[in-house]
Structure 1
Amino acid sequence: METHEGNIQYAENTKDKIKIILVLAMPAVIENIFQTILGFVDTYFVSKIGLAEVSAVGVTNAVLAIYFALFMAIGVAANVRIANFLGAKQPEKARHIAQQSIILAILFGIATGIITLFFAGPLLKLMGIEANVVEVGEIYFKIVAIPSIFMSLMFVLSAVLRGAGDTRAPMKVSILINIVHVALDYILIFGFWLVPEMGVAGAALATVFARVIGSLALLYYIKRSTILSFRKDYWKPDKQHLWELTTLGGPAAGERLVMRLGQIVYFGFVVTLGTNVFAAHQIAGNVEVFSYMIGYGFATAATILVGQQIGAGNIDVAKKFATLCTWLGISAMAILGALLFIFGSWAGSFFTDDQEVIKSIGTALKVSGIFQPFLALLLILTGAFQGANNTKFPMYLTAVGMWVVRTLLVYVLGIQLGWGLLGVWLAIGIDIAFRAVVLTLQFARGKWIAVKKDVESECHPQTTKETMSRCVNNY
């Protein structure tokens, strides 16, 4: 059973399908966990300086999440189209669109770097945080985000490899850069031998150095790939492919932007509860994010497998893979939810000695633990929808969830009713459950595959494999 570079042989029975899912998902889970450790280590080390610094890094990362949304959207589009083309046995189209996605990543990376250079302070002030937090945050923001090109390349190069069915190379790179990052974080934040203590600026520099190394390593793996290795003539910008990536990735970007903008608004509500409460919220988020990494790992497998099967015209097999990915993810995240519920306060104690903050962290993580199965549904089905070229519906759903459900309930439960951080995390959980249920209903009704209107008549799910493959490649 081969799973490297898109050459996946699919067995008929469920047991073999589960093996394929795990072969793809587990490296992606490990990769995501190690990438998350970049932020986790920053928060851990920075917490040793002070809670104001924790808040500064947290607020900055909330703004940076808007950048991540753009970069991840390019990655989603590249991942899906590469998987589609390989499933349809068109490797040169996959190679071409991979290189075009890298061009797009470079352009967006340069643009966001320029925005940071001139508007770092004003962007942070929009969050309504205290002056001392803005001052520290601006230092961190500029160092991390002016060289945004390396953020962008990390997202897109990893997505290109995953689209070709290679989830192991991004995992190896994540392990490498985390070893580098942990060492540099300690040295640059606290100082070592001839290196002076740099505090928050040191944390930012360590992150940048790690991303530079990661980008170079991912380029190395792509150049080694028989499917993705670069061709000089494919570096010429192709309007059709760039537009294709933009239109497919646009809704994915819209989804994440809507989510992040809503997050900024409700972050503003949390900030009004006080610096300590916001610090507790940020620390709880950094602990909980490991559960997201499991979900994103199975979502990655769902996107790859659904994308390849849709490209090959195997609609029933695509749905089977999506279903299996979802159930496996729910099982894993339910276990993690129980651990968050039981050990949340204990995890918080690693970041601070403030008992009030530790108690708040424990409360937030108990609520998070209860909603973990719904989070699995939401993340993995979103990945399946994207693999089926349907990036619009998740965007619309996220807009409703973030702005009508989450933000409103954060204000009502957290501020108006005075429930504080408990109300905030209940609002988050209710939003997650709402969107998970809606996606499940759409999936069950068969309304999860998107094709162009002008070919919908020949793209009915009951048509032949050849017809469906042609439809998807006309998308």
Structure 2
Amino acid sequence: MADGALAREVRRLALPAILHSLLQTLVFVVDRIMLGQHGETSLAAMQLGGAIEWSIWSVFASFEVGTIARVGRHVGAKNPAAARRAAWISLAMAFGLGSLLAIVSPLVLRALPLVAANVSPAALDEARGYLAITMAASPLVFLSMISIATLQAGGDTKTPLVIGIFANVIHVALNRALILGVGSIPALGARGAAISTAITFGLEAACAALALTSRRRPVSLRKPLEPPPEEPAGPSPHATREEARQLAHVAFPALLERVLYHIGYVGYVLMIARLGDAAMAANQSLISVESICFLSGDGFGIAAAALVAQKLGASKPGEARKAAKIATRDAILALTIFGLVALAFRDAILPLFAKDPEVIAIGRSAMPVLAVAQPFMATAIVIAQSLRGAGQTRQVLGVSVVGALFVRLSMTWLFAIALGFGLVGVWLGSTLDWAVRTALLLVIAVRSREGRDSGAATPVESATVNR
């Protein structure tokens, strides 16, 4: 495939993925605005319940990495039966883990007071009500995530965007009715947001599953009306067990990576908290700005992961490498531009998030570091996703351990606390984390390329060939 055609394929996948992520962020912001209108107690409850919910779902949904890697590889190998098998196993794992989380959710609710000692009884009660509903909806949440990941692995990011637009329009309408009340419907605050979230994920899961039933798609949950002669009547138990093993082999390091990330993030947040309320507020403003950059980088990463998996499945390692390079280049360009624009217009952007002159001044001083971080962040995000698409999640796990647990924490403490640079030091620490990750991931990517060029195969590739 010519480089120009491959670049168009990367952008065709990346743009809808970016818009889908930005749409979810926009709805998140709208949720908080509505909860703030309902009352401070509801907003405080969401700060607690939402953070716990996000952490738990983020960790347990890590098996979607295995879905993209395995389904994408089978799609590239033009093996629809194996892609269908991987999709069904992924959905079964999603439902099983979601059901397990729903069953143990009462334990989470009982432990809530232990992590919220300073939260008012009213906010704690509302947070408990929120989590009781959303944790019970975990099977629907995970089915939605895996269905979307399966569509993306097949090279379709437009359908998830359309589904996201439809579901989130319903979500905002439900929020308006359930959080603030309308007509005979009482205002339910955070509990209303939880009901809306559960319904929205249920709609997304149903729509995505319905899309996957189309036999015209690269990945379909239904067998063709006239199966090819070489396709067996049904998957053998051995093939099913081996596919499940390979999915777990790819997904487990991603799960461990997210667990370690959240552990490191807690330490990171505690150091920021030592800087005072103004620094914390300024940091939230900067994170809100940078989230646009991060989500854009992740969109290119999703495109890279899907294409790398497909090209390796098609035995085209050269095109897989080119796809990763193109996605990385485009991400660097996009994020660098975003960072420079944010820096140039910081005096207009920061007052949108804060009115306190001290908060604005602190945020303004750290904005140049945010701009410097963007090319490193873009490179690290896309290369990590490319390696995950190739099934090399163990290597990415090692890099994350070094970056999140050692570089970020130690450098943040050095610059922000020991040297007294404050919030600027915090962002210097995170930027050094991204820089180190970039260097390590580039080394891994080069060695992986050299291994493929010499004929060596990764464990995932070997398992695929042996079957």
TM superposition score normalised by structure 1: 0.84
The count of aligned residue pairs is 452
- Give runs of aligned pairs for residues 232-381 of structure 1, distance below 5 A: 238-274=240-276, 277-344=279-346, 346-351=348-353, 353-362=355-364, 365-381=367-383
Q: Secondary structure at the match of 1:446?
A: helix
Q: CA deviation at 1:408?
A: 2.7
* Cα distance change of structure 1 residues 104 and 124 upon mapping to structure 2, 3 Å threshold: farther
The equivalent of 1:109 in structure 2 is: 98
Range moving further from structure 2, 161-170 or 174-183: 174-183
Matched with 1:224 is 214
Aligned mates of 2:292, 2:58 — CA distance in 1 = 19
Q: What is the RMSD computed on CA atoms of the aligned residues?
A: 3.2
Of 14-23 and 334-343, more deviation after overlay is shown by: 334-343
Equivalent residue, structure 1, for 2:146 = 156
Instruction: Summarize the alignment of residues 30-41 of structure 1 with structure 2, pairs less than 5 Å apart.
Output: 30-41=19-30
Q: CA deviation at 1:189?
A: 2.6
- The answer (yes or no) to whether the contact 1:385–1:448 under 8 Å persists in 2 is no
Please say if residues 20 and 164 of structure 2, whose CA atoms lie closer than 8 Å, have aligned partners that are also in contact: yes
* Deviation per residue, 1:170-198 (Å, 9 max, x gap): 11111112212222233333333333333
Structure 2 letter corresponding to 1:95: R
Structure 1 pair 345–72 and aligned structure 2 pair: CA distance change class (3 A): farther
1:248 to 1:201, Cα distance in 2 relative to 1, 3 A: same
Q: 1:143 to 1:281 in 2, by over 3 A?
A: farther
- 1:196 lines up with 2:186 in the alignment: yes
SS at match of 1:229: coil
Equivalent residue letter for 2:160: P
Q: CA deviation at 1:303?
A: 0.8
State the Cα deviation string for residues 175-234 of structure 1 (Å, max 9, x = none): 112212222233333333333333333333322222121111111111124343324967
SS of the equivalent of 1:230 reads coil
After TM superposition, give the deviation of residue 385 of structure 1 in Å.
0.6
Query: Counterparts of 1:85-164 in structure 2 under 5 Å?
Result: 85-120=74-109, 122=111, 125-126=114-115, 130-131=119-120, 134=124, 136-164=126-154
Alpha-carbon separation, structure 1, partners of 2:67 and 2:366: 36
Residue in 1 that maps onto 2:228: none
Instruction: Give the Cα–Cα distance (whole angstroms) in 1 for the partners of residues 100 and 133 of structure 2.
Output: 15
Alpha-carbon distance, 1:120 to partner: 3.1
Instruction: Report the AA paired with residue 82 of structure 2.
Output: K
Aligned to 1:452: none
Contact 2:75 2:219 in 1 (8 A): no
Instruction: Answer whether contact 2:215 2:222 (CA < 8 A) is retained.
Output: no
Gaps of at least 5 residues in structure 1 are: 1-10, 450-458
What amino acid is aligned across from residue 176 of structure 2 in structure 1? Y
Aligned 8 A contact 1:127 1:264 in 2: no
Letter in 2 for 1:313: S
Report what 1:77 is aligned to: 66
Deviations 1:59-110 (A, max 9, x none): 5444334333344421111111111112222110010110100000011111
Measured after TM superposition, the shift of residue 355 of structure 1 is 4.4
- Which deviates more, 287-296 or 165-174? 287-296
Letter of the 1:210 counterpart: T
CA contact (8 A) 2:22 2:292 kept: yes
Q: CA deviation at 1:428?
A: 1.9
Matched, 1:205 2:195: yes
Q: Taking structure 1 as reference, are residues 355 and 473 closer, same or farther at Cα in structure 2, changes over 3 Å only?
A: farther
Distance in 2, matches of 1:139 and 1:417, equals 43
Deviation at 1:387, TM superposition (A): 1.6
SS in 1 for 2:182: coil
Instruction: Output the amino acid matched with 1:122.
Output: A
Taking the aligned partners of 1:302 and 1:128, their CA distance within structure 2 comes to 43
Is 1:461–2:441 an aligned residue pair? no
Mean CA deviation greater in 398-407 or 137-146: 137-146
State the match for 2:229 in structure 1. none
Structure 2 SS opposite 1:197: coil
C-alpha distance in structure 2 between counterparts of 1:47 and 1:421, whole Å? 27
Q: Does 1:426 align with 2:428?
A: yes
- CA–CA distance in 2 between the matches of 1:127 and 1:364? 30
Q: Tell me, which stretches of 5 or more residues in structure 2 are unaligned? A: 224-233
TM-score (structure 2 length as normaliser)? 0.86
